Structure 1
Amino acid sequence: MSALVAMFKHKASHELSDNGFDELINLVRDMLPDNNTLPNSFYKMKKLVNTFDLGYEKIHACLNDCCLYRKEFEHAELCPKCVARDGKLKNGQKKIQKNIPAKVLRYFPIIPRLKRMFGIYEMSTQLRWNSNNKSSDSKIRHPVDSLSWEMINRRWPDFASDPRNIRLGLATDGFNPFKDLSSKYSCWPVILTIYNLLPSICMSKESLMLSLLISGPKHPSNDIDVYLAPLIDDLMLLWNDGVDMYDVVTKSTFNLKALLMWTIHDFPAFGNLSGWPVKGKFACPICRESICSLWLKHGRKFAYMGHRKFLTFDHPFRMKKSWFNGHIEHGIRPQIKNGEEDFIEVDKITNDWGKSEKRKRKKNTTQSNVTWKKRSIFFNLPY
Structure 2
Amino acid sequence: MHHPSDAAAWKHFTKVYPDFAKESRNVYLGLATDGFNPVGMSGEAHSVWPVIVTPYNLPPGMFMKRKYFFLSVLVPGPRHPKKSIDIYLPPLIEELESLWSGGVEAYDVSKKQNFTMRAALLWTINDFPAYGMMSGWMTHARKHSWFDCHKVFLPREHPYRRNVQAFRKGQTITDDPPPWLTGEKFLRERINNIKGVKKTVDCGGNGHEKPARTINGYGKDHNWVKKSIFWDLPYWENLLLRHNLDFMHVEKNFFDNLINTVLNVPGKTKENAKSRMDLPDLCRRSELHMKADGTLHVPIFWLSKEEKKNFCDATSPFAFKELLPKSVHIAISEIALFFRDISAKILKHEDVAILKENIAVKLCNLEKIFPPSFFDIMEHLAVHLADEAALGGPVQYIWMYPFERYIYHLKKKIKNKAHIGGSIVAQYVNEEISTASANFFGNPHVVPEVPLPGEVRFTYQYPDVPNLFYHEGQDVRGVYNPYMSSNDLQILKDKHFAEWVKNYVVQASNTYDFLMGMLDFVQGPQCKYKSWPIYHSCGYFFHTHSHGQDKKTQHYGIQVRGTTDTDYYGLSEEIIMIEYFGYVGLKAMVFKCKWFDTTEGRGIRKHKSGIIDVSPRWQYEKFDPFILSGNCDQVCFIPYPWVRHTSANDWWACTKFMPRGVRETSEDALVALQDDTDYQVVAQSMMLRIETYVVEDDSDYESTPVVPPNDKYVSEDELDEACTDRDSVSDSSS
Q: Deviations over 1:167-210 (max 9, x none)?
A: 00111111112232453111111111111111122111111111
Alpha-carbon separation, structure 1, partners of 2:223 and 2:83: 19
Q: Percent identity, aligned pairs only? A: 39
SS of residue matched to 1:199: coil
- Residue of structure 1 in register with 2:191 after alignment: 346
Alpha-carbon separation, structure 1, partners of 2:9 and 2:46: 37
Counterpart AA for 1:149 = W
In the TM superposition, what are the counterparts of 1:160-309 in structure 2 within 5 Å? 160-280=21-141, 301-305=143-147, 306-309=149-152
SS of residue matched to 1:263: strand
Give 1:379 deviation, angstroms. Answer: 5.0
SS of residue matched to 1:203: coil
User: TM-score, normalised to structure 2's length?
Assistant: 0.28
Counterpart AA for 2:173 = E
Aligned length, in residue pairs? 216
Larger radius of gyration: 2
Give 1:303 deviation, angstroms. Answer: 2.0
Return 248-257 or 300-309, whichever deviates more: 300-309
SS of residue matched to 2:65: coil
Change (3 A) 1:153 1:369: closer
Change (3 A) 1:218 1:247: same
Give 1:322 deviation, angstroms. Answer: 2.4
Alpha-carbon separation, structure 1, partners of 2:154 and 2:117: 45
Alpha-carbon separation, structure 1, partners of 2:17 and 2:208: 41
- Residue of structure 2 in register with 1:286 after alignment: none
Query: CA RMSD of the aligned region, Å?
Result: 2.5
Is residue 173–residue 190 contact of structure 1 (8 Å, CA) maintained in 2? yes
Q: Deviations over 1:288-323 (max 9, x none)?
A: xxxxxxxxxxxx742234221111112221122122
- Residue of structure 2 in register with 1:323 after alignment: 166
Change (3 A) 1:358 1:218: same
Counterpart AA for 2:145 = A
Give 1:257 deviation, angstroms. Answer: 0.8
Q: Deviations over 1:323-354 (max 9, x none)?
A: 22111112111101111111213344544421
Return 243-252 or 331-340, whichever deviates more: 243-252
Give 1:376 deviation, angstroms. Answer: 6.6
Counterpart AA for 1:142 = H
Aligned with residue 334 of structure 1, among 178, 185, 190 = 178
In the TM superposition, what are the counterparts of 1:1-383 in structure 2 within 5 Å? 140-280=1-141, 301-305=143-147, 306-326=149-169, 327-344=171-188, 345-348=190-193, 349-351=197-199, 352-355=202-205, 369-373=212-216
SS of residue matched to 1:190: strand
- Residue of structure 1 in register with 2:430 after alignment: none
Q: Which has the higher contact order (CA 8 A, sep 6+)?
A: 2
Counterpart AA for 1:321 = V
Counterpart AA for 2:81 = P
SS of residue matched to 1:303: coil
Alpha-carbon separation, structure 2, partners of 1:165 and 1:343: 27
Is residue 34–residue 127 contact of structure 2 (8 Å, CA) maintained in 1? yes
Is residue 170–residue 190 contact of structure 1 (8 Å, CA) maintained in 2? yes
- Residue of structure 2 in register with 1:288 after alignment: none
Alpha-carbon separation, structure 2, partners of 1:262 and 1:201: 19
Runs of at least 5 residues in structure 1 that lack an aligned partner in the other structure: 1-139, 281-299, 362-367
Is residue 173–residue 188 contact of structure 1 (8 Å, CA) maintained in 2? yes
Counterpart AA for 1:153 = T
SS of residue matched to 2:15: helix
Alpha-carbon separation, structure 1, partners of 2:16 and 2:185: 17
Alpha-carbon separation, structure 2, partners of 1:165 and 1:355: 35
SS of residue matched to 2:83: helix
Alpha-carbon separation, structure 1, partners of 2:33 and 2:221: 23
Is residue 151–residue 160 contact of structure 2 (8 Å, CA) maintained in 1? yes
Counterpart AA for 2:35 = G
Alpha-carbon separation, structure 2, partners of 1:374 and 1:246: 52
Alpha-carbon separation, structure 2, partners of 1:346 and 1:358: 15
Runs of at least 5 residues in structure 2 that lack an aligned partner in the other structure: 225-734
Give 1:358 deviation, angstroms. Answer: 6.3
Give 1:249 deviation, angstroms. Answer: 2.2
